[in-house]
Structure 1
Amino acid sequence: MPDFSNQTNRATGLRFLWLTLLLVVIDQITKIWVAAEFELYESRVLIDGLFNLTYVHNYGAAFSFLSDGGGWQRWFFTAIAIAISVVLLIWMRRNPVGLWRQNLAFSLIMAGAIGNVADRLMYGYVIDFFDVHYQGWHWPAFNVADMAITIGAALMLLEAFFDNRRDKVENGQG
């Protein structure tokens, strides 16, 4: 059995879960608003030639990957997102609070995963609505959860360049 006694008296990365909760709430509120105010595929221009709000259903993953899978992908992506969230939660529990970049990244990724899992469980698809485009080319529609995952993943990549901080934090120097 693992010994967690040395972790009971120190601040952990779990202190960042407030951000996860906040982003999940914002994500769900924006999706509920879009679903209530827009017809499916309705688009409203926010910045002409650049940015619209367009209500779509995504049955797949990022970029509608496997959206035509026949339904099995709903449970596949749900299971993956739950597994990743559990791993990140355990990692955050083991991380000292001082590893804020890593904890922030994990918190953002969990928020996105949970936000999109909630959609998959409630509706069978993910509600997307941000539509960035330029000269007829459209980036795949996305939502607040997708932004959180993307920013979290980018922070994880940046974190890889700051590895030496971990040694300083663990030795009480950071």
Structure 2
Amino acid sequence: MEPNERLPPYRLPLNRVLIFFSLAILGGIADLWSKQAIFAWRGLPGEKPVWWVIDGYFGIETAINLGAVFGIGQGQGALFATLSVFAGVGILMWLFWFRAAESLWLTVALGLISGGIIGNLYDRMGMWWQTGYPEPWKSGVRDWILWQASENWKWPNFNIADSLLVVGACMLMIQSLFFAPTSPQDGQEDAI
């Protein structure tokens, strides 16, 4: 290609935009709806005992996470909310400015991550909090899924947003470890 020759204008596949925003919006809605429904049914943390789906292994128990992953950073809700906003903007730029949306795999992964960001950011901003709740809960994330191997081997409670974030992050890891990037200028389509 001659240096003066112009590249054709970038045409974003419409289906990628629909896939990304559908996953992000529906993922956020599923997370927020499930939190609202479970907390209405089971009450605030400590009000009711665990409701076991599989006795001793998988259940429903409401909890408030005041930190981030595994409760790290307790009380830093404003910081995590700010990081979530920056991550969301970064994802949009990566997908649509830097053309990651050319890859269906990356579009799905980043759509899932965005759905998780939406669900947990809503909680971090205190939009669920009501007068009478403990003040530290204002920036806490509502969790309700309990998973354990025994009383000594408990996974911290989590929610659908956390699940979306983990699945999306695993997809990004698989992409980076097993699939070499291809360049659209090479005339090759994405492997995934």
TM-score, structure 1 length as denominator?
Answer: 0.86
Q: Which residue pairs with 1:57 in the alignment? A: 64
Identity %: 27
Runs of 4+ in 1 over 6 A off after TM superposition: none
**Any conservation in 1 of the 2:182–2:188 contact (CA below 8 Å)?**
no
Q: Which runs of 5+ in 1 are unaligned?
A: none
Q: Summarize the Cα distance change of 1:170–1:53 in structure 2 as closer, same or farther, 3 Å threshold.
A: farther
RMSD: 1.8
Aligned mate of 2:29, from 25, 33, 42: 25
Q: CA shift at 1:60, angstroms?
A: 0.9
1:112 aligns with 2:119: no
1:157 maps to which of 168, 173, 178: 173
**1:105/1:173 Cα in 2 relative to 1: closer, same or farther (>3 Å)?**
same
- How far 1:96 moved relative to its partner? 5.5
1:126 CA drift (Å) = 0.6
- Relative to structure 1, the CA distance from residue 162 to residue 98 in structure 2 (aligned partners, 3 Å threshold; closer, same or farther) is farther
Give the match for residue 133 of structure 1: 148
Higher helix share: 1
Q: Deviations over 1:62-98 (max 9, x none)?
A: 111122x3xxx11100000110010001111132544
* 1:1-174 equivalent positions in 2, closer than 5 A: 6-7=9-10, 9-11=11-13, 13-15=16-18, 16-39=20-43, 40-41=45-46, 42=48, 43-67=50-74, 69=75, 73-94=76-97, 95=99, 97-121=101-125, 122=127, 123=129, 124=138, 125-136=140-151, 137-167=153-183, 169-174=184-189
1:117 Cα deviation from its structure 2 partner: 0.5
Judging changes above 3 Å, is the alpha-carbon distance between structure 1 residues 56 and 97 closer, same or farther for their aligned structure 2 residues? same
Residue-pair matches, total: 164
Q: Secondary structure at the match of 2:121?
A: helix
The code of the aligned residue for 1:11 comes to P
Higher-Rg structure is 2
Q: Following TM superposition, by how much is the alpha carbon of 1:101 offset from its aligned partner in structure 2, in angstroms?
A: 1.1
Instruction: Provide structure 2 residue ranges, at least 5 long, that are not aligned to the other structure.
Output: 1-7, 130-137
Is the Cα contact below 8 Å between 1:51 and 1:131 reproduced in 2?
Answer: yes
**Deviation of 1:14 (Å):** 2.9
Q: Once the two structures are superposed, what CA deviation does each residue of 1:30-66 show, in whole Å capped at 9, x if it has no partner?
A: 0000111112233210101210100011111111112
